[in-house]
Chain A
Amino acid sequence: MFPASFDYRVAESIDEAISLYQSADGEARYLAGGHSLIPAMKLRLARPSRLIDIRPIEQLRYIRVGDDGAVHIGSLTTHAEIAASDVIAQHAPLLAQAAKVIGDVQVRNMGTIGGSLAHNDPGADYPAAVLALEATITVQGPNGTRRIAAADFLKDMYETALEPGEIIVDVAVPSYSGWKSTYVKFFHPASRYAVVGVAILANADGNQVQDIRIAYNGVASCAFRDTAAENVLKGTTVTDTAIAEAANAALNGVDALSDHFASAEFRKHIGRVYLKRALQGLFAG
């Protein structure tokens, strides 16, 4: 398991990283935690001619509340740091709930939120959370800086709005202090990626729901918000019947992934059962 040969460069700043990207012959890739890129290179599914290691860019490593009141997370922040952060626990615990069930300890210590979002694996755990949280992703590239809504950023399986040479610098999440949230995950027993992951974020007074966001990853080629399920519950009082109705409404018309471990039908079934149980847990009392 060793990759094709490549040129390895280290960037100390975002500008340097971008100029190393621009000066590369052939395909260049940024290296963050390496926990998606390196395995793909070892299998020779990815064969960049240049790797630009961005890990020394300290300015991409932070979690703080900004002047806008939103939580800002530097793209090099690891899953473990997000899982353990007090700031995130207070303002956007959903993100930590997702981070906690990513892979295993090694993966969480190495993998970064920027890398995960840039990779957009259908079985990754952050995508549902950032959709539910309506996060904004800031990218910087040869043509300057752009701010992109998560829903526009995550395009399809391994596809994002990133243009060549762009680096994710920041993930901004509005404060949801006081909201309820949960992330439940049906693991693949081998990879531990999500076969189904459901993120729920609700602004509720007891069982009285003002607003609710429900997003899935794992089920389809890209994470998505399930507005049909949301609409069943939005502005209502949650009861067992309402939960059952929401679960029934979920995933209709979704083109689900299918493989020998989980067929499309089974994925949707699990998606509904997990949604139901997650809602029951969230509104238990």
Chain B
Amino acid sequence: MTTYVGKPVRRVEDHRFITGRGRYVDDIKLPGMVYAYIVRSPYAHAKIVSIDTSQASTAPGVIAVLTGKDLEADGIGGLPCGWQVNFRDGTQMKEPRHPVIAVDKVRHVGEPVAVIIAETREQAKDAAELLTIEYEELPAVVDPQKAVEDGAPLVHDDAPRNLAFDWEIGDKAKTEAAFQEADRIVELELENQRLVPNAIEPRAAIGDYNPGTDHTTLYTTSQNPHLIRLLLCAFVMGLPEHKVRVVSPDVGGGFGSKIFHYNEEVIVTWAARKLKRPVKWTAERSESFVSDRHGRDHRTKVQLALKNDGTFLGLKVQTYANLGAYLSTFAPAIPTYLYGTLLQGVYTTPAIYCEVYGVFTHTVPVDAYRGAGRPEATYLLERIVDLAARELNMDPADIRKKNFIPPFDGIEQPGYQTQVALQYDSGNYEAALNRLLEMANYSEWRRKQQELRSQGRYIGLGLAAYIEACGIAPSAVVGALGARAGLYDSATVRVHPTGKVSVYVGVHAHGQGHETTFAQIVADKLGIALEDVEIVHGDTAEIPFGMGTYGSRSLAVGGSAMVRALDKILEKATKIAAHLLEAPESDLEFREGKWYVKGTEKSISFPEVALAAYVPHNYPPDLEPGLEAESFYDPKNFTFPFGAHLAVVEVDPETGEVKLLDYYAVDDFGNVVNPLVVEGQVHGGIVQGVGQALYEEARYDENGQLLTGTFLEYAMPRADEFPMFKVDHTVTPCPHNPLGAKGAGETGTIAATAAVANAVADALQPFGVKHVPMPMTPQRVWTAIQASQQVS
């Protein structure tokens, strides 16, 4: 029996957010604080000929004008990359210096070139206009396929053909053989376009230095404060880690973009130490567009070999992944280990081969963005599967069912070994699809589609069956794959003498609702009230070393650490209880917050035991006082949430407008702690996924200027474009973590893009349109119809 777990408990953190009492980095005002304005490159590629600071330095309120040369003179290093992916032939990944502030050259629009520090942010910005920077513009390249061509402008002189790495996975020979024996081969060229994450809170950072104690504090909008502290101390600034504190207070959304170690974090920390005053920087929205790490940006050719009965025989994928101008913190992992390894999908395809070229271009660095690699894998798989169904005249649901991996629970039946390195934990893919088809009344929609077509109306149904690797990640496994860090997590449970509990977690919440969901688990486990538990995160001075939040890892990894720590608490508390009840431990029974002597009403409550632990005059003789426990949990495997989504769209063929009529989702996250929070994650993810399918695009011109650099041009999805979603879930517990949880943060973005893309293609089948590039704007849809009408 649980009181809280599994229940739709309302989020306890919402009260402070809704009443404006959240405390974000920009809300923090320290005595004597000054403001940094960052002057950024207006060019995608240029030599910095000279910087004349004389006028800016004497502008009102200006305290300092700092450049990349000043930073280098102070011995500050470049930004490190946390993951190594080598070339196929074993040569090391090209990892050119990633300067905090550009020195001789700029390599993307938005790269920091100088920093103005002034008493007010207005003064800093005004002074920036007085800074004279002479540039010599150079030719730029923005398209990853063009960047590898001979004669393309080089982003880094030491990375020939602009390649950071080329990478492969799977069995090439076996796949070629499968293609030989296939009845048919279906192929498609796809672009998974570049996106700007656009968290509602812009990034911000404050550096603060106390010369008396030599302590440095960095407040930053980060998803993983410990990682930032480690990188800052060990790689970039060489600061003593025990004297550095990194605080990520309330953070208003991240979607991956706040994982990475950013230039501005170094700049404010360095400037604060140099000037001995707190230094704050807050991004303006236009800065966010050209400095937050972008997402996606793949050009892919995919081929599926199959039998005429619809059985998949082999899959070949070739991808050019745009990495931008520099390697961001996790960049190499995203288009490789979080992408190529997911190409098995939920299908039994017996032979898979994938090669990926990681390419530098004169654009903002690309890194993890909600889903990170897995939406890209799912998009191409689900598109090609739909196209195969169409060519074979099969229903898209049927071709999927024909190829699904059969159910396995990971306990009785072993995990499923894929062709691309991973072993899935547990899955029942057909059950999720069946539930979806039933919930959506799929066959009725198909009937309606026929009926409407005869009236000249074109609706389309788009399925996406997906899997994702979450709960990142077993350290030994990812270490072998090039990760330069382990990906365990941690929790400290501190029981106070009155029986109230604080839990310090290494994961970080920036919209996920941990303060509620984690507390639900604690309250149930200890039999106390939810309000007697507080979850603390985001401050390296308070929490144990943790890796933060991304990759839907918090509950599966951080939550598991917490459960382990709670087990330790209960183990010790039981010893205390046994002593106080004067009964052997084996005679005790713990239920609803009390230890009972079995078969009697004699009991002692959790707060009484807690008090005894801290006031130990009547106490087990060989037991340490206190009631606090810590655990570090390194998962045994990834977790593999999965599910099936259905989008229903109507396309107006005359104008190309697409309307989302209905949306259904059935996901399997393993055990669910809070269905309300999970549903919120699913809804947000779907909207974001549909955003990619229909609206969003970071589009550069050939000179590397971002054409969609404001919300006037960059279309975010809006509430009035959406129907109410119908969501449900199946439950296939994760067999290898104590919660049986798989993770729920990214599924929407993974499935929805593909589902909507399939729906639009399905609607346009009568016009012979095979594929519409994303975002599927009216013009693109209309152009696709025009083009295929001309062919036929």
Contacts and interface: CB of A to CB of B under 8 A. Distances in A.
Query: Interface residue tally of chain B, by bracket?
Result: 20 to 34
B456 to A, nearest CB: 14
A43 B711 CA distance: 12
Contact of B782 (A43, A189, A260, A269): A269
Nearest to A267: B779
A2 B37 CA distance: 12
Contacts of B716: 190
A186 interface: yes
Contacts of B715: 188-190
A190 B122 contact: no
B655 A270 contact: yes
Given A4-B126, A260-B707, A191 B782 contact: no
B206 to A, nearest CB: 18
A191 B122 CA distance: 27
Contacts, number: 48
A2 B778 contact: no
Nearest to A266: B779
B145 interface: no
A266 B699 contact: no
B705 to A, nearest CB: 12
Interface in A1-45: 1-2, 4-5, 43
B778 A270 contact: yes
Main secondary structure on chain A at its contact with chain B?
loop
Interface string B684-700: 00000000001100010
Contact of A260 (B122, B699, B711): B699
Contact of A190 (B125, B655, B713): B713
Interface string B117-133: 00001100110000000
Interface in B116-173: 121-122, 125-126
A191 B695 CA distance: 12
B475 interface: no
Interface string A252-266: 000000001111001
A273 interface: yes
Contacts of B707: 260
Contacts of A186: 655, 778
A5 B655 contact: no
A215 to B, nearest CB: 20
Contacts of B777: 189, 261
B37 to A, nearest CB: 10
Nearest to A2: B122
Contacts of B285: 1
Contact of A273 (B655, B708, B713): B655
B125 A261 contact: no
Please indicate which of the listed interface residues A186, A262, A270 has the most CB atoms of chain B within 10 Å of its own CB: A270
B286 interface: yes
Contacts of B714: 190
A189 B284 contact: no
Contacts of A269: 782
Contacts of A266: 778-779, 782-783
Interface string A202-245: 00000000000000000000000000000000000000000000
A2 B125 contact: yes
Contacts of A260: 699, 707
Contacts of B654: 273
A260 B779 CA distance: 9
B724 interface: no
Between A260, A261, A263, A269, the greatest number of chain B beta carbons within 10 A of the residue's beta carbon is seen for A261
B712 interface: yes
Interface in B341-377: none
Nearest to B777: A261
B284 A1 contact: yes
Contacts of B122: 2, 5
Interface string B702-741: 0000011011111110000000000000000000000000
Contacts of A188: 715
A191 B654 CA distance: 23
A190 B126 contact: no
B780 to A, nearest CB: 10
Interface string B98-126: 00000000000000000000000110011
Contacts of B713: 190-191, 261
A43 B286 contact: yes
B284 A5 contact: no
A121 to B, nearest CB: 11
Most central of A189, A190, A273 by chain B CB within 10 Å? A189
B779 A2 contact: no
B182 to A, nearest CB: 39
Contacts of B125: 2
Contacts of A190: 695, 708, 711-716
A2 B202 CA distance: 14
6 contacts: A1-B286, A186-B778, A191-B712, A261-B713, A261-B777, A261-B779
Given A190-B695, A190-B713, A191-B713, 12 more contacts: A1-B286, A5-B122, A43-B286, A186-B778, A188-B715, A190-B708, A191-B711, A261-B777, A262-B779, A266-B783, A270-B778, A273-B655
5 A-B pairs with the lowest CB-CB distances in the bound complex, closest first = A190-B715, A189-B715, A191-B712, A1-B284, A266-B779
